[in-house]
Amino acid sequence: MTKIKQPTLREWLRQVIRFTPRQFFVMILGNLVLALGVAMFGKAGLGNHPYHTMLYAAARLFGGELQSTYALCQMLLNIPLFLIVFFAGRKHIGLGSILNMFLLGYAVKGFDALLTVCGVTPAELGGAYLVEWLGLQNIWQLVLELAATVVISLGISMYQAGDMGAAPYDALPLIAVDHGRPFAPWRMLCDGSCLAATIALLLVGGWADAPIEARIGLGTVITVFCTGPFIRFFDRTVSCKLAGKPAE
């Protein structure tokens, strides 16, 4: 695959302000699906997606109400990541990137409250499927964790298919693709790096009393290996068709 030329600043600004209602709809819907998936991870209690686990672990160190501090940590981390992507691959930055940076955390907070109201809290239930060293207390945790992995992958795929910009973190493996590298291994590399950072944060803050959203578990490991391939699967089967564009 040939290296893709960076757009000039003028070309990039034109790209940001030009979009169709269909693109906007797919981008917004994708972000909402993504937020739902992140909230589902937290309720399953088997470990969140590595990126969001890292943010929750950082939020725990700051103190305060967890979900609100999580949203703040996401915005703070997105600023340097945004600058990196802007200079290395600004074709992947757009209005969707800005909305994801500043609104996703609050959407996760809303879905978390909604799931609580609906009684979706399997991590708080006991059961016969007790495997303590994996954090698994009942089979519904595993069902919700697998569902969350699928949902978050679909959400990422959908909002990226809108071609209105990816979140700075999600844009990192896309930049690797621009340079002829395969997507899935680079996505796994990014997720694995977040997993290592989470371990460091948990060691600093104390492992035993970490909130359930910040714990590393079976689900965290599953997402490292499954999110990248799942995103590519949904690109081909759902998201590109929904956005009215050919699959890459």
Question: Model confidence over 174-200: pLDDT tens digits?
Answer: 898 888 888 888 988 998 899 899 999
Tell me the C-alpha distance between 27 and 160, whole Å: 7
CB 56 within 8 A of CB 176: no
**Res 1 pLDDT > 50:** no
Q: At 30, list the tokens.
A: 């994708």
> Within 10 A of 204 (CB to CB), how many other CB atoms are there?
12
74 has pLDDT over 60: yes
Find out whether 125 and 149 touch, Cβ atoms under 8 Å.
no
Percentage of the residues of the chain whose pLDDT score is greater than 90: 21
**Domain ranges (residues) in the chain:** 19-243
| pLDDT at position 36 over 80 | yes
pLDDT bin (cut points 50, 70, 90) of residue 32 is very high
Q: What is the pLDDT of residue 130?
A: 44
Round the CA-based radius of gyration of the chain to a whole number and report it: 18
135 pLDDT band, cuts 50/70/90, is low
Q: How much is the pLDDT for 161?
A: 87
Taking residues 145-167, report their average pLDDT: 89
Dist CA 128 CA 116 (whole Å): 23
Report the pLDDT averaged over residues 164-171: 87
Categorize the per-residue pLDDT at 128 as very low, low, confident or very high, splitting at 50, 70 and 90: very low
